[in-house]
Amino acid sequence: MRFMRSITCAVVLAATAAAHAADEESTPDYARNTAIGDPGGQRTALFKQGLSVEAGYKLDYLRNLAGGIGHGSASIGNLDLKLRADLDHLLGLPGASAYLHVLDNRGTGINARHLGSLMGVSNIEVTVPTTRIFHAWVQQTYMEEQWSLLAGLYPIDSEFSVMESASVLLHPAYGPPADLVLTRGPSIFNNSAFGLRLKWQAPDRTLYAMSAILDGIPGDPQQPKGTHIRFDKGDGSFAIAEVGWTPIEYGHVFEPTGPTRMLQTPELRAHEKYEGHGKYAAGLWRYSNKVADQLQTDGAGNPLKKPSWGGYLLGERSLFGIGTEPGRYLTGFARYAFTDGDSTPLSAQLNLGVSVRGLFAARTDDILALAWTEARLAAKFRAAQWRDHGNITARNETALELTYRAALTPWLSIQPNLQWIRHPGGDADAQNARIAGVRLEILL
């Protein structure tokens, strides 16, 4: 009897220890990976109850050394406040989750005052300093998470046309394509629209397809500050669809899921660090409302009305490892995006680049990236610039960027950055711009 009791106790203790270890593996290490830490274990306790809380701050200091509009510098700040709720844990709704993401953006002008680039120079620069609700949605998954339906305030650049290996770059063109950004106003950083997103994943998570339909004009153009949800008569709708193949995700199922990354659990962090990147995708988008053609007119001299549409192809792949240590690899990425060219300044954009994680054996979390982008000016835009203003435009605006993100601690990084822009604004007479700066990023 004593022997049986001993065996039973050993089994119970082993099971308890295994459950505790599994629980720890699925919980982010707030104490190590955030500046604030985990006071009294409160953030971990909230996570185990179904609430993930995160905050982060980015600060860019950029200076135009030559070319463009003129010399000058600017500081740009971006504060993120994120809350994700697992509604299964909280309310007993299996497969349901909710997400809230508030942005506060301060500092503008580096591009408008000193560069005049069509594509921009910093991916956290905004036209008007403001605080906004960026994400506010609920999501329900079905059929063992193969299907998911999302509804609410949702920016398409959180999932569509994303190249993870290029996300370290500061130039905006490696987020949503610049030709799409310059349309009438898609649902992207920092102004999102209300809509629906439907997504399907294959059982092995290697194939996916998703589509979204949203209000055609995010917010209220007459009130550029704050959060506004309006469905005006002339807004129309914006639709986008993407299909893709992610072979590196074979067999991986991670929960909680969500389109905007929260602090990673140890399991997800290990997967992303050691497995690298692998994705191939194609997408199409279209506005329902017609807009004025930038060159053609009807018999009465009024601009013709046409719908705006476009698409993209992208690929990224970790090509080979560096050294013998895990988590060190070189990744190549490319994306070609295009539009109709009738109503937008750009008709196409090409991104090419490489990123190296762990260039040095002692610094496996550092990332070095070099990338080049060429944005082709639409023929109608060029003709209209000559007709209306007498401006001679170049065929392309080109940008080259070199950056190195040094992870000083798990929650603090510093990132020197160099950029070179040829024909900023598409102006054939504009001098090439040279930009130098640095990004400081803190995970709170």
Residue 146 has pLDDT above 60, yes or no: yes
Residue 137 has pLDDT above 60, yes or no: yes
Can you tell me the distance from the alpha carbon of 354 to that of 318, in angstroms, rounded to the nearest whole number? 9
Residue 277 lies in a domain: yes
Mean pLDDT of 55-78: 94
232: which 2 tokens?
A: 């005006």
Q: In total, how many domains does the chain have?
A: 1
379: which 2 tokens?
A: 């023929």
Residue 161 has pLDDT above 60, yes or no: yes
Phi/psi at 166 (nearest 5 deg)?
Answer: -100, 0
Lowest average pLDDT, out of 11-25, 389-403, 416-430, goes to: 11-25
Amino acid of residue 338: F
Name the residue among 272, 372, 381, 387 with its Cα closest to residue 329. Answer: 272
Residue 36 lies in a domain: no
Amino acid of residue 120: G
33 neighbors 386 (Cβ within 8 angstroms): no
Residue 10 lies in a domain: no
Residue 252 lies in a domain: yes
Can you tell me the distance from the alpha carbon of 444 to that of 435, in angstroms, rounded to the nearest whole number? 29
Structure-model confidence comparison of residues 373 and 20, the more confident one: 373
pLDDT at 272: 67
Q: What CATH number has the domain bearing residue 239? A: 2.40.160.180
57 neighbors 78 (Cβ within 8 angstroms): yes
Can you tell me the distance from the alpha carbon of 135 to that of 98, in angstroms, rounded to the nearest whole number? 10
Mean pLDDT of 130-152: 94
Residue 26 lies in a domain: no
Exposure on the CB side of residue 155, measured as CA atoms within 13 A: 23
What length is written for the chain?
444
What is the C-alpha R_g of the chain? 24
Residue 174 lies in a domain: yes
Can you tell me the distance from the alpha carbon of 57 to that of 139, in angstroms, rounded to the nearest whole number? 26
Q: Are strands 96-106 and 237-245 parallel, antiparallel or unpaired?
A: unpaired
Q: What is the pLDDT of residues 320-343, one digit of tens each?
A: 999 888 889 999 999 999 999 898
pLDDT at 12: 33
394: which 2 tokens?
A: 């170049």
Residue 84 lies in a domain: yes
Residue 19 lies in a domain: no
Lowest average pLDDT, out of 45-54, 329-338, 345-354, goes to: 45-54
Amino acid of residue 387: R
For residue 113, what are the domain limits?
Answer: 50-443
38 neighbors 44 (Cβ within 8 angstroms): yes
Can you tell me the distance from the alpha carbon of 340 to that of 338, in angstroms, rounded to the nearest whole number? 7
Q: What is the pLDDT of residues 173-223, one digit of tens each?
A: 999 999 999 998 899 999 999 999 999 999 988 999 999 999 999 988 888
Peptide bond into 256 cis (omega under 30): yes
